[in-house]
Every structure is written in C-alpha cells, then in structure tokens.
Chain A
C-alpha cells in the first residue's frame, strides 16, 4: 500500500514538475492520520519496533507490558526470542526465551519491589512464572486437582492475573473455559466458569485482569470473546455483571488510569483482516475505538461496532505506557512488529 502510494505521489509530483505549480497541492495533501474518538485520539507509527527479521523474528505478537524501568516487553511465539525488550522509542534493548513455543499471555506483577512475569503457554499447557530476565521461578502446571481435566491437552491457558495478596488467576481460554484460582504458593483454591451460555460461563475466556479502579473493592474482569462481552466476577469467582460490546471480539482487558483498553482481534461479524482498539471510560462506556467505527449508544445499548479504516490486522493486545501512548501487538498479521499509537 505504502509503496503504491509512493509511486502514485511520485508520479503526481513529476507531473507537477512538468506542468508547474500543482505539485504544491499534491504535497500539501499529506496529513497525519488521526484515529480514535473524543478524548482518546492517536497518530500512528507503523515502523515502531521493526527489527531485522533474520536476527529477531516474530510470529504472532501476542502480548506486551511495560516494566518498572519503563521498558516495553513483547511476547511472541517465535522460540528464537520469545521476549523482545524495547525502549519506548522502539530501540532494541535485549531478547530472551527459547522455551515457550505457545507463548501467549504475558502478565507483569511487581512483587515486593521486583518485577515478575507470568507466561501462559498454550502449547506447553501451563503457566510459567519468571524473573524479568527470564529465570524460571515457578510453574503452574495443568490443574489435575480441579477434577475438570482428564488430561493435560484439554487445558490451554491464555492469560494470568495476579492479585495484590499474591493470588493467581489463570484463564483457560482455548480449553474448557474454566478460571483457576491459586494462592501464591500454587495451591488451587477454586475453579469457576466453564464452557457455556450462562452468565457465569464463557466462550473463549481469552483474557483476565484485576479491576482495581475502585481500590477498596477489586473485582475480576474476564473476556468472553466469542460473545463480545466482558464479564465481571468477585475475587472468589461469583458472577456480578457483563459489559456488552457487540461487534468487538475483545482480547484481554488492560486497566490504565480510569480506563480499560482492549485489543479487538476481529470486528463486525468476525471479518478476516479486521480489528481495532476499544477504550472504555470509568463508567465502562466505549468512548473511543481507534481504527473502528464511531461508538454510539441507543437506549443504553452500544450499536454494533465494525472496522472503519484498515490499519490493524487482528490486534491481540494493547500496552499503555506511562505517557498514555499505546503499543498494539497483532496476531496473524504476516509476522509484523507492533504498531505504536501516540496520543494527540
């Protein structure tokens, strides 16, 4: 696309040279694309974090987090370098990880002043806790003790959330759709959810996070991606309510400030090549959809969302940095590196 534009614009410019001043008009028509709505609008940096794929290849860019040093960590299921660490400008700092063929979920929790990572691996069928430089600290293997799983293969974890008391929640988003609740020592305390249409059940419980915007009353937010819903549960696994996002096949919720950010992997009816980013405010209202249609509500219901501009190709996660810029990791996008959105 870019190349095509370049050629076209070059030919316009050449024509301008021949005919005179129209060249000026051709040049001035360049303007930065601005996407999103209301208070949350962004410019697009397509080249952020692009590396030499011979040395630092990616397959799917699954998830991204920012660590307490301000660095941006990318998790990919390429075992040459499962974790790629950048600065905010997109310069490479370091890489590690060759043992995570199904690297899918990346959660960072600062535990007593130390950044720890939780990698949900859907090929290894387990969650691996590591230090920030990749030393394995703990493994949450398949929850045989739950009684829900006859074998390891039915358990395909996609995401982890860690509470301030150290409790660990794992979403089995590609397996039987249960949520496992462990204490910090790895003892299974509770199992809830499961596959189905009921309020407390899921189709594609792809992501989970702890909503601590009300600090006195934290809750769990869990994605039901196929149902275009975000479901809220108590910390001990009781269903509270749902947020409906029709047309938005959302991945994990990411809380930053008073807002929830969600990469939206498909949009509309699940169209090939679709997707955008969803941003909800403190009332859980969709207020901005970079790359998507303008959110509008009628009688308290969100009108069905769809892609507006073909910028993203199946966004899989969004990372919000300390300047409120966004980094969008994409699935099945032709092994491209993440896209950065700079807040305007």
Chain B
C-alpha cells in the first residue's frame, strides 16, 4: 500500500512539474475547427455533379463520405473535386492535430428526371422583396439555395399563411411524387411548412402533414416528399401552409414564421 501511495505521489509530482499552463492564454484544445465549405456546381443535375471542398487552413486534413455515413478518421481523405453521378448525401469534416475536429458539413445532391424549367409558374402572394430570388422561376431553375440564405438569389421567402404555386407544364409528364425543397433556420424565424396539399384540375392528388414542423432543430435544408396519385399531369397547384405561429419554446413565440422555398421537383 505504501508503495502505491509513493508511486501515486511521484506521478503527481511529475504531473504538476510538467504542466506548462501558467498564463491566461487559451490552449488549442479549447477550440473547434470551423466546418469546411462544400461547393457543388449544381445540387440538382441530369448527368453528373462536381463537389469541391474548401478549407484553406494549414495542417488540416479533410475527410468525406458520399453514402450518408458519419465522417470518421477512417473516411476518405479529400484530395481533389469529386464527380458524383447519382443522388447522394455528402458529408465532410476537417481534422487538425491541435484542434477539435469540425462539425460535419452536409449537402444533398439529387439527380433529377424531369426538367420543368420551361413550365409557366405563378406564385401568390409574392415573396418578400428582400427574398424574392430571381422571381418565381427560381423555383424551377434547377438551382439549389444554400443554408446561408442571406447571400444569393435562390430563395423565395414568405411570411404568409398559405403560399399558392401554380405550374403549367409545356407537356404532360408522368408523376408519382412532388418534392418541395425548403429551408429551416429557426433562429432566423424560418420554419418548415406545416402542411402541403397538391391539386390537379381542382382535384386533390396528394398531401402531407409535417409533424415535426414545431420541433426545435436549428438549421437544415429539407426536401419534402409528397406522394401524388400516379398519372400524367400538365398542370399542378401546390399549396404550402405555414405554421400558424412560432412555437412557445422560441423567443419570437406567437409571431408569424417565415417559409423559404428554393425548388420544386416532379418525379
């Protein structure tokens, strides 16, 4: 027993002696790396997309996955831009010997079947002038917005109970699903829609409740998949219903939430 105590004492002595932390400066282990920037030439593509990782910080290693799995020390090391030929969830992380690894950067890229960019589109009410993208056509231009909605011209932002989107296609296309791509950034008052309903020729062909629209989740890009009666369509009316008000856990409780939409896809 005495021996053990003596041994512990010696260890402690060494430990104290070896601790160089005698000033007020923060050590590297206090901090985490920022997330790498994932850049994609087109998040919606017909043939292939090129994904590049940007992180200009000396002595960092970037790793990524394309199968949706969490990035670990065993994941692929990023060396040059990646070519992707099918829909994928891409995740990336930065590692550095002195700092904590970054959070994951995530981007969803999707191969699309139907190009509807020639459709005639009407949106009512009009989006807020500060977030009006490149007009209603932004919703069918195959250009995804990023989570940083402040910069860029991809997002349409609304503060309304119901947003009505009318699509007149230039030809009939077979459809079984409609995707509505939206942004969630709850600290910026941007929430998921609560309910989506889809009509063709005044008949409801599909709908979806988003049961998690009030849940606290922070920031996220969201693809809402709405199954519709399988058929050929040449016109669609999509109604996007907002949450009635910002939920009680939020500092802006009771206010009208924002809805941000950047793209509509028909599959």
Enumerate chain A interface residues (CB-CB to B < 8 A): 1-2, 5, 9, 13, 16-17, 20-21, 23-24, 27-33, 43-48, 266, 268-272, 274, 293-294, 296, 303-304, 306-311, 342
Docked-complex contact A293 and B152, CB < 8 angstroms: no
Instruction: Confirm or deny: B56 has a beta carbon within 8 angstroms of a beta carbon on chain A.
Output: yes
Contacts of B55 in A (CB 8 A): 293, 306, 308
Give Cα A20 to B20, complex, Å: 19
Give Cα A32 to B146, complex, Å: 35
With beta carbons under 8 angstroms apart, the residue of B14, B24, B151 that contacts A45 is B24
Q: How many residues of B contact A (CB 8 A)?
A: 40
Q: Is the interface of A mostly helix, strand, loop or mixed?
A: loop
Contacts of B34 in A (CB 8 A): 274, 306-310
Docked-complex contact B29 and A32, CB < 8 angstroms: no
Docked-complex contact A46 and B30, CB < 8 angstroms: yes
Query: A228: nearest residue on chain B (CB-CB)?
Result: B151
Docked-complex contact A24 and B15, CB < 8 angstroms: yes
- Give chain B interface residues in 116-152, CB to chain A under 8 Å: 146-148, 150-152
Docked-complex contact B8 and A17, CB < 8 angstroms: yes
Query: A43: nearest residue on chain B (CB-CB)?
Result: B25
Contacts of A270 in B (CB 8 A): 148, 150-151
Docked-complex contact B148 and A268, CB < 8 angstroms: yes
With beta carbons under 8 angstroms apart, the residue of B24, B28, B56, B148 that contacts A269 is B148
Docked-complex contact B26 and A33, CB < 8 angstroms: yes
- Give chain B interface residues in 2-35, CB to chain A under 8 Å: 8, 11-12, 14-15, 18-21, 23-34
Instruction: Confirm or deny: B75 has a beta carbon within 8 angstroms of a beta carbon on chain A.
Output: no
User: Can you report 27 residue pairs joining A to B where beta carbons are below 8 Å apart?
Assistant: A1-B31, A1-B100, A23-B14, A23-B18, A24-B15, A24-B18, A27-B20, A30-B20, A30-B28, A31-B27, A31-B98, A32-B26, A33-B25, A45-B25, A268-B37, A269-B37, A269-B152, A270-B150, A271-B148, A293-B56, A306-B34, A306-B55, A306-B56, A308-B34, A310-B32, A311-B31, A342-B25
Docked-complex contact A32 and B27, CB < 8 angstroms: yes
Contacts of A342 in B (CB 8 A): 25
Contacts of B57 in A (CB 8 A): 293-294, 308-309
Docked-complex contact A33 and B30, CB < 8 angstroms: yes
Query: B21: nearest residue on chain A (CB-CB)?
Result: A30
Instruction: Confirm or deny: B219 has a beta carbon within 8 angstroms of a beta carbon on chain A.
Output: yes
Docked-complex contact A309 and B32, CB < 8 angstroms: yes
Query: A303: nearest residue on chain B (CB-CB)?
Result: B56
Give Cα A20 to B15, complex, Å: 11
Give Cα A25 to B100, complex, Å: 18
Give Cα A9 to B57, complex, Å: 26
Instruction: Confirm or deny: B99 has a beta carbon within 8 angstroms of a beta carbon on chain A.
Output: yes
Query: B24: nearest residue on chain A (CB-CB)?
Result: A45
With beta carbons under 8 angstroms apart, the residue of B24, B30, B56 that contacts A294 is B56
Given contacts A293-B55, A296-B56, 10 further A-B contacts (CB under 8 A): A2-B30, A17-B11, A30-B19, A48-B24, A269-B146, A269-B148, A269-B150, A303-B56, A308-B33, A311-B26
Docked-complex contact A1 and B26, CB < 8 angstroms: no
Contacts of B98 in A (CB 8 A): 31, 33
With beta carbons under 8 angstroms apart, the residue of B29, B31, B56 that contacts A29 is B29
Contacts of B28 in A (CB 8 A): 30-33
